[in-house]
Amino acid sequence: MNLAGYSILIPLLVFAAVVAIGASILILHEYRKKVRQSARFLEERVAEEMINTTKPEGTTFLQFLEKIGNYVSHGQSTTTLVEQLIRAGYLGKSAPAIYTGIKMLLFIAGVAAAALILMPIDISFVTKTTLIFLGGVVLFFAPNIVILMKFNKRCSEIRQYLPDAIDLLEICVSSGIGLDMAWNIVADEMQTVSPALANSMALSNFELHLGVSRVDAMRHMSTRTGVEELSSLAALLVQAERFGTSIGTTLQVFATSIREERNFTSQENAEKMAVKLIVPMVLFIFPAVLITVVGPAAITIAQVIMSGN
């Protein structure tokens, strides 16, 4: 082939390589997008199954709240709100709309209750309007506190039973069972002990069947639950597979470290408790003790002074 032929062939090969690389990137992006959508679909199916197990008479009211929430939010919800509800254990697709509907209904109820209470009271119009509005605001932010409490309770439950789950994983792996199968077995065994941890492990197992890597599935589990120890577990498993170390030994060491960290946290909270008790002791206990000890003497002194006069 002469020089002119090479001058035409090289640009064609470069163009074909660029197109192939671009197509590979687009295909990989679409694949990851479908995996995320499938994982989200599975989460919604699990949530729907949980909702279907509840009482049927509450369905109409939930639909009413969902309509209110969709009307207020225009059918859209922020990513932050969705993450907060998922971490609190509400995985359903309609959970953000129901949550918004509850907040709006509580706001209206708070305004109405405050108006009924303050209408007979003779105060200025500005003060009365402000107090009525504050009554609605207080109930409007009540669901935020409930979600925060649910999230803290869920995290505490997962952190409490995670060492036991790791021990079961270590036993299964040491007996020759594969890590994926052991993960599924432990998820079934933990269902009666910790449903929150078992459901999170089951969702991660679904992601593994969809083709998601074990590390990404465990990181997604950490994001859904808000428990950072799961990200550390994923990193340890990656290192164990990369360097060829024993997964059973890795799991055993990790479970021991979690228990030690939990003991240290309990000791730290116990030491902080003495400092936190100072304020209620000074405000409530010390005045009562002072009145009990000094009161009779003060009464006697007062009687002596009055009798002397």
Q: Is the pLDDT of residue 28 over 60?
A: yes
Cα separation, 285 vs 288, whole angstroms: 5
Cα separation, 227 vs 162, whole angstroms: 10
Average pLDDT over residues 236-259: 81
- Helix axis angle, 79-87 to 142-174, nearest 10°: 60
Query: What pLDDT was estimated at residue 53?
Result: 42
Cα separation, 298 vs 225, whole angstroms: 59
> Degrees (nearest 5) of the Cα angle 193, 211, 42?
50
Concatenate the DSSP letters of all residues of 160-227 into one string: HHHHHHHHHHHHHHHTT--HHHHHHHHHHHTTTT-HHHHHHHHHHHHHHHTT--HHHHHHHHHHHHT-
Query: What pLDDT was estimated at residue 264?
Result: 85
- Contact present, 222 and 203 (Cβ < 8 Å): no
Query: What pLDDT was estimated at residue 50?
Result: 46
The better pLDDT of the pair 298, 58 is held by 298
Average pLDDT over residues 152-169: 86
- Contact present, 223 and 62 (Cβ < 8 Å): no
